[in-house]
Copies of this chain bind each other. A is one copy, B any other.
Amino acid sequence: MSSKALALMLTLAAGPLVADEGMWLFNEIPRTTLEARYGFAPTPEQLEHLRLATVRIGRGGTGSFASAQGLVLTNHHVGLDCIQKLSTAERDLVAHGFVAKTHTEELACPDTDLSVVVSIERVTDRIEAALAGVSDPAAQEKARRTAIADLERGCKEATGLTCEVVRLFGGAVYDLYRLRRYTDVRLAFAPEIDAVRFGGDVDNFDYPRFSFDFALFRVWENGKPLAVEHHLSWQPEGVAEGEPVFAAGFPGGTQRLYTLAQMAWTRDVWLPLVMLEIVHSHDRLVAFSARGAEQERIALRDLYVRANSMKALSGLLGGLLDAQRFHAKAEREGRLRRELAARPELVARFGDPWAEIERSLVVRTEIEPRYRVLESTGRYPGRLFDIARWLVRLAEERTKADGERIPEYRESVRPLLEQRLLSPAPIHPELEEDHLTGYLRRLLGQLGPIHPAVLEVIGRHSPEEVAAELVRGTHLTDVAVRKALMGATPAEIAASTDPLIRFARALDPHARAIRERWQDEVDSINVSAWARIAQIERAVTSGDLYPDATGSLRLSFGKVAGYEEGGRPVAPFSPLSGLYQRAEERGGRPPYTVAATLSRLRGELPGASPVTFVAKLDSTGGNSGSPVVDREMRLVGVLFDGNLWTLANPMLYDETQARTISVDVRAMLLALTRIYPAAHLAEEIVGEAP
Contacts and interface: CB of A to CB of B under 8 A. Distances in A.
B201 A462 contact: yes
A446 B202 contact: no
Nearest to A206: B460
B276 A318 contact: no
A444 B284 contact: no
A425 to B, nearest CB: 27
Given A314-B449, A447-B317, A462-B202, A287 B283 contact: yes
Contacts of A445: 275-276, 278-279, 310, 313-314
A224 to B, nearest CB: 47
| Copies of this chain held together in the complex | 2
Contacts of A277: 276
A242 to B, nearest CB: 27
Contacts of A267: 366
Contact of A283 (B317, B441, B444, B645): B441
Interface string A430-467: 00000000100110111111110000000011100000
Nearest to A459: B202
A252 interface: no
A447 B314 contact: yes
B365 A269 contact: yes
A368 interface: yes
A280 interface: yes
A369 interface: yes
A268 interface: yes
Contacts of A462: 200-202, 591
A368 B276 contact: no
B280 A311 contact: no
Contact of A450 (B203, B441, B644): B644
A273 interface: yes
A283 B286 contact: no
A315 interface: yes
Contact of A276 (B273, B316, B448, B461): B273
A286 B273 CA distance: 22
A264 interface: yes
Nearest to A314: B448
A341 interface: no
Interface residues on A, range: 35 or more
A513 to B, nearest CB: 13
Contacts of A205: 449
A287 to B, nearest CB: 3
Contacts of A368: 268, 272
Nearest to A461: B202
A13 interface: no
Given A283-B284, A369-B268, A276 B317 contact: no
A321 interface: yes
Given A317-B447, A445-B310, A202 B460 contact: yes
Interface in A170-205: 200-203, 205
Given A273-B273, A283-B280, A268 B449 contact: no
A605 interface: no
A80 B584 CA distance: 48
Contacts of A264: 366
- Scoring A272, A284, A311 by chain B CB atoms within 10 A of each residue's CB, the highest score goes to A272
A444 B278 CA distance: 12
Interface in A294-315: 310-311, 313-315
| 10 interchain residue pairs of minimum CB distance | A287-B287, A318-B448, A276-B276, A272-B369, A317-B448, A318-B450, A275-B445, A314-B448, A280-B280, A268-B365
Given A269-B269, A279-B441, 6 more contacts: A200-B462, A268-B369, A275-B446, A276-B276, A276-B442, A280-B280
28 contacts: A202-B460, A202-B461, A269-B269, A269-B365, A272-B369, A273-B273, A276-B280, A278-B445, A279-B441, A279-B442, A280-B280, A283-B283, A283-B284, A283-B287, A283-B441, A286-B287, A287-B287, A290-B291, A313-B445, A314-B445, A314-B448, A314-B449, A317-B447, A317-B448, A318-B447, A318-B448, A318-B451, A321-B451
